Structure 1
Amino acid sequence: MELFSTHDPAWLAGLAAALGLTGLVAGIMAGLLGVGGGIVIVPVLYHMFTLLGLDEAVRMHLAVGTSLATIIPTSLRSARAHYARGGLDPDLLRSLAPSVFAGAVLGGLGGSLVDGAVLGAIFGIVALLVAVNMALPSQRSALAASLPAGPARGLIGAVIGGLSTLMGIGGGTLSVPVLSLFNYPIHRAVGTASALGLIISVPGTAGFVWSGLGVAGRLPGSIGYVNLIGFALIVPLTLLAAPIGARIAHSVNPARLRQAFALFLAVTSVRMLLDVLY
């Protein structure tokens, strides 16, 4: 635990409190927007690891892997809450699940082959593009009346699963705007995305655990690229807050929900890109 011993106990206590607050915000966002909380957790963990002086070579990988692990219980809790309120589409979930899972497996295994700066750039660029799309009026952003079937739907699912795993997010960041592009109701998209988060996070976490085994420079208390200390501090409040976000989602105007989604994505993506570039 040499990395922790170089810091003042009060500073470390503040760090723990910040991680707990991150879990609270991430839980609300998971229930509200179906994003699994990763859009909040990844940049916060990245900056926390920077403050701790963690090796730059493993910093982003550890943030992504830990975020994916926290999404497992959060997505399960959020999906149950949305299903209870009729906001989850089982048929759509079944049609997307196989390809999303396959993409997540490839993303998890391929994460070890990608440089940390590249992971940060992927996070920032994709999130910023999604933010711009979600900020547009819904009638302008629709590409078709419904989601395509067959191989095209499979390709969409695989891209969502793969990119979401590399970004350390639960799938809603990509699946919600994609479903919106095909004229799918936002509340049903959010509810279904929360379940996709579970399908993405399980194989994604396993891949980052496997690829990070034995790698030097990781934070103490880590299994592969998943830090158990960060997981333990974030998850309890995330689970507590996820149902609150789900309740809010069903009482908010859809247009306002899109605006909130776009705002959070824009802020986090710009911050990440600035860190990668400078």
Structure 2
Amino acid sequence: MNRTFSTPEPIVLHTELGAGQVTVHATDTTETTIEVTGKLAEETRVEQDGRTISVIAPKQRGTSIFGSNGLRVTATVPTGSDLSTVLGSADLAVTGRVGDCSLRSGSGDVTLERAQLVEVTAGSGDVRIEHIEHDLSSKSGSGDLVVGVLGGDSQVVSGSGDLTVSRSVGRLSAKTGSGTIRIEESGEEVSATGASGDLHIRLARRGAIQARTASGDVTVGVLAGVPVWTDLNTVSGTVRSELESLGEPAEDQDYVELRTRTVSGDVHVRHVPAPQDRQAAHQPG
């Protein structure tokens, strides 16, 4: 099945699919094209209502949409279009820049290149997003979440999945059971709570950092030259600090307020050089 719609402006693409694959290409176009292939392609509803184009797979007799046979949906939409999905085990792959995303997925994987705002609820599938311009809200069971750039504030709740962030610009709140939280670079506040998972922040530039975990380890690197106020506590673990003594921050100077609470986990904090300094240090002389 192939359908084409005249869409000179960004649209809302809503997709409901049990098993299979959803591929979305956001590009500079004035038309939206939908291609559906698979056993039940001709029974799939593809319709437009205002600026919303819906692709809804047929329900299996006696089951919900999550039991439908595998289908492949390929959509080309205008840049900046919003996405809404209800997926079972189907995977979602999105290229180009999209707008606001409201995504529900069971066991399928989700991959986004660039989005304005993302709200995602996932079961056991992994979620990978290269760049989120504004806020993120994520809830997952056992799937991992990997994000390149978080441009706004973020709230992440996970059961056993890991969280990996290359750079967080805004405030980040993360709660996980047994998952590990890894943040390469944080720019503002970080609040992380875990049970047995570890927390690693490679480079913190400013703001308040709170880390609470039971048996996990906490490792935090603070940008060299940035003053740090610390409150580090562990019951049976060890605390190791390699922070420079820099005194009170000057007026308008960035500083980090670091609080950690662990039961049996270890705590290690230190000052680290700026990224370009680290790269230069590894270059051959």
Band the TM-score falls in, shorter-chain normalisation: under 0.3
Structure number with greater CO (CA < 8 Å, separation at least 6) is 1
Give the TM-score normalised by structure 1.
0.18
Greater share of helix = 1
Which structure is larger by alpha-carbon Rg, 1 or 2? Answer: 2
Give the TM-score normalised by structure 2.
0.18
